[in-house]
Amino acid sequence: MELKLLSWNVNGIRAAVKNGFGNMLLTERPDILGLQEIKITDKAREEQEFDFTGYKEYWNPAVRPGYSGTAILIKNYKLKIINYKAGMGIEEFDTEGRVQTLEFEDFYFVNTYFPNSNHELSRLKYKTDFNAAWLEYIKKLEQKKPVIACGDFNVAHEEIDLARPKDNVGNAGFTNEERADMTKFLAHGLVDTYRAANSDKVQYSWWSYRFYARDRNIGWRIDYFLTSEKINKNIKESFILDDVLGSDHCPVGIKLKT
């Protein structure tokens, strides 16, 4: 069986729905879709009454309205869900709705919205603390079965991953600390599926809304699928859907043979 897994920072699920989210679902037909930055509370979502026909929904909003949050959509008929968990069990991170975990027979699927360190780097320590806790969490899961982790990591790892690296050294998303943490993730046995499959390809997943950055393709690759080495051999394709509009990010994905 081949599964199509997608990850997308929608920058507000309500805005994304207005901007063609439903068409993307119908066109791409992902088996599992991890969403980040949903920016909606449970109460507001219930009032909105989204119609994602054919998908089971898991929502993990932030306590703060209109901020952060994650969600997972999964096709009802393909995979048996063993367990679902919201958060990592750490209150300072879990109140922002940043992590979701679905356990399947052969792997864990972890959907994550990593903190933004902010332009003035006011949240850099919060982010590096989150990164350390997240890696520890992933390694605990791996003791039982492989992990497929997706999300907006809010970091461009190498210079190839952003259009203007020299201009952004030390800026949020391209600090030494954030890049070192991504290096640490890979050193601890996680595989950047896109870079493993597309070693020299230049492609981005996020563009600023300013200065026509997307039209000019002045972007960053900050959305990833990382997998345990054990399951990476089953990844048949890793891709970026940079022609999909509706957010300042575009979806990224993998095809997995199970």
Return d(Cα 26, Cα 227) in angstroms, integer: 26
Per DSSP, the three-state class of 176 is: helix
Percent of the chain predicted with pLDDT > 90: 96
pLDDT of residue 224: 99
Q: Residue 220 contacts by C-beta under 8 Å, 6 or more apart in sequence? A: 156, 161, 162, 163, 173, 204, 205, 206, 207
2-257: CATH topology is Deoxyribonuclease I; Chain A (3.60.10)
- Domain boundary assignment for the chain: 2-257
How far is the C-alpha of 99 from the C-alpha of 62, rounded, in Å? 10
Distances (CA, A) of 243 to 29, 131, 137: 16, 30, 33
Query: What's the confidence (pLDDT) of residue 63?
Result: 97
Query: What's the pLDDT at 76?
Result: 77
pLDDT band at 152 (very low <50, low <70, confident <90, very high): very high
Look at residue 49 in the predicted model and tell me its pLDDT: 83
Amino acid at 193: T
**Which pLDDT score is estimated for 244?**
97
Quick: pLDDT tens for 205-247: 999 999 999 999 999 999 999 999 999 999 999 999 999 999 9
Residue range 76-106, pLDDT digits in tens: 777 899 999 999 999 999 999 999 999 999 9
Instruction: Show which residues are catalytic.
Output: 152
Going by DSSP bridges, is the β-strand pair 55-60/83-86 parallel, antiparallel, or unpaired? Answer: unpaired
Task: Please check the confidence at residue 129 and state whether its pLDDT lies above 90.
Answer: yes
